[in-house]
Chain A
């Protein structure tokens, strides 16, 4: 079906029926596959699903939590305008999962051995410090909340466009928020990871298969002619640093990759997937799978399609996508395949929004109950802890929904700036989990110093993001953070406990898995 709509998505109510039904069917499918997970009563089950998932579901969950719904709206706009420059996102994503890989084993073992269920809970254990735990808790929630609002906007945007504008934005957003809030509250981590399995598969099929089909059946008829057209018309899209970054110092490119790779998988709602894995090996294997997939998802699902939208604008085939790049994905899906294309495009993007919102809502519920309420009330029973997490998950969804209906013009800047702050957790989350010498004093002083520098530089440059020598505020913050982290850790005594808990990981592996076996010639198999 070739439906050429020069003025964007302008279908009739009949055209809208298919995408709306497709989107609703997808949401219904998530509920059906999650039906066994509903009705969680115990906190560990709610928070980590008792670590039952193998490497494939964990890989899909990493993808679903990491690739935000805005990937096919705001970030798609980046591919249309930045061209080659979009590859910074692919690079930082691969490096980010590599960084998480380095500490996965300890995160998982300490989690399993000490009933740790959240990132901040893990900080509290590693550094034996309520202060560090609370810094992690409140810092994580503050940096994550703008993303929850943004993702609700994305849900509303997608539903609204799925209906060719026939569904009001507020109602579209309410449908998505209500569905996710309820199933996360009822299904906990098991529901989230189960739905992420569907979301991850949707992303892979949507980007690799549907993305390729768009290029092959699109107006340029294939990759060679697409790139030839771009080279003739907008050649800067194909070379470093891409048109939108032209004129920025090289250090800016370095900054956006470094800050994003430090922050990418340090977000509390992304790294806590590790706790849902059945073993540290499953969590690491999941990371390996993600590292293999990301470059192809980035190339076929984003960059190539974004270039096609730009090429269509440059050759007079239709400039709606170039003028409205955030709608480019749905517009080009419609352009090439009509309402069927919009249906597929909506489901792929909707799946990502569902994946991120569910991970965020689940994180807020678990961390509020475990890291805020429980330290205040030691005798909190398991059932009450679960109930508090469920109620807070719903509360935070409603709160985000209310705020999402307000006019918040600076929110996207705030959400992007949040990356500059979340990376301040990098020394605590990554280096402290590798190096026993890291002390709570080192982490605390480093975090406070890093946050203060980032806050000051952000305040003085906002809404700009380029600071001294082309580096972003977060890079300067993390440099100060690292210096303080190492300096203070060196001058303070390392508690014996630090060495014991690192040794405990090795001991735990031996005891838990029955000690050394000595197979000499045997086929290695999956986990």
Chain B
């Protein structure tokens, strides 16, 4: 619920301030902003992953290939994590805007 405070989100605390800043940033975003910030990056990342020739030439040949995990897997994994993170953030923005409109 709006304005609910928790032990991790007490007024004046860092978490509270971050959440408030995020909320105020999110409700100020226009549809055009949301497209630029979320949709374009997600679609670009999806394109890269679906058409690997766009990146396989370098992921397969970057040295050293094996650190903690191989570069090819690391890069692919990182791109997927970013897609997931971006989508999660997009949901939080949608959530903040729905909250602002009184839909929650």
Contact = CB atoms under 8 A, between A and B. Distances in A.
Chain A bound to chain B: yes
Interface of A: 84, 87, 90-91, 94-95, 97-98, 101, 223-224, 227-228, 231, 235, 238-241, 250, 253-254, 257-258, 279, 281, 284-285, 287-289, 291-296, 298-299, 303, 509-510, 512-525, 527
B91 A519 contact: no
Interface string B27-47: 000000000000000100010
A510 B102 CA distance: 8
Given A250-B53, A524-B96, A224 B19 contact: no
Given A288-B87, A524-B92, A515 B102 contact: yes
Given A95-B46, A522-B3, A303 B20 contact: no
A410 to B, nearest CB: 29
29 contacts: A87-B80, A90-B80, A95-B46, A235-B65, A238-B65, A239-B56, A240-B56, A240-B59, A250-B52, A284-B95, A285-B91, A285-B95, A288-B91, A288-B92, A289-B88, A291-B88, A292-B88, A294-B84, A295-B84, A298-B80, A509-B98, A515-B102, A519-B3, A519-B100, A521-B24, A522-B3, A523-B19, A525-B3, A525-B99
B53 A227 contact: no
Sorting the interface of chain B by its residue count into under 10, 10 to 19, 20 to 34 or 35 or more gives 35 or more
A517 B101 contact: yes
A1 to B, nearest CB: 28
A94 B50 contact: no
Nearest to A287: B91
Contact of A522 (B20, B50, B94): B20
A238 B73 contact: yes
A257 B76 CA distance: 14
A284 B94 contact: yes
Given A281-B104, A285-B95, A294-B84, A91 B50 contact: yes
A241 B16 CA distance: 45
Contacts of B84: 94, 291-295
Contacts of A94: 80, 83-84, 87
Given A285-B95, A512-B103, A523-B19, 12 more contacts: A87-B77, A97-B87, A238-B65, A241-B56, A281-B94, A298-B80, A303-B73, A509-B98, A510-B103, A517-B100, A524-B26, A525-B6
A252 to B, nearest CB: 11
A254 B50 contact: yes
Top 4 closest pairs, chain A to chain B, by CB = A517-B102, A288-B91, A524-B23, A291-B84
A458 B26 CA distance: 47
A101 to B, nearest CB: 7
Contacts of A238: 65-66, 70, 72-73
B83 A98 contact: yes
Contacts of A298: 80
A355 B30 CA distance: 40
Interface string B50-93: 11110010011000011111101100110011011101101110
A525 B4 contact: yes
B81 A295 contact: yes
Nearest to B51: A254
B66 A231 contact: yes
A250 B54 CA distance: 11
Contacts of A517: 2, 100-102
A172 B88 CA distance: 40
A295 B87 CA distance: 13
A513 B103 contact: yes
Contacts of B42: 98
Contact of A521 (B4, B20, B85, B91): B20
B51 A250 contact: yes
Most buried by B among A231, A288, A513: A288
B102 A299 contact: no
Contacts of A515: 102
Given A281-B104, A513-B102, A91 B53 contact: no
Contact of B91 (A101, A239, A279): A101
Nearest to A251: B51
Contacts of B2: 517, 519, 522-525
B103 A509 contact: yes
Nearest to A232: B66
Nearest to A222: B68
A522 B83 CA distance: 28
B70 A231 contact: yes
A356 B35 CA distance: 35
A227 B104 contact: no
B75 to A, nearest CB: 10
B22 A524 contact: yes
A515 B51 CA distance: 44
B3 A223 contact: no
Contacts of A97: 87
A19 to B, nearest CB: 31
A78 to B, nearest CB: 15
A523 B3 contact: yes
A281 B70 contact: no
Most buried by A among B4, B98, B103: B103
A327 to B, nearest CB: 24
Contacts of A523: 2-5, 9, 16, 19-20, 23
A98 B85 CA distance: 11
Contacts of B60: 239-240
A195 B60 CA distance: 42
Contacts of B92: 288, 524
A289 to B, nearest CB: 7
A336 to B, nearest CB: 20
Most buried by A among B49, B73, B101: B73
A84 B73 CA distance: 7
A527 B96 CA distance: 10
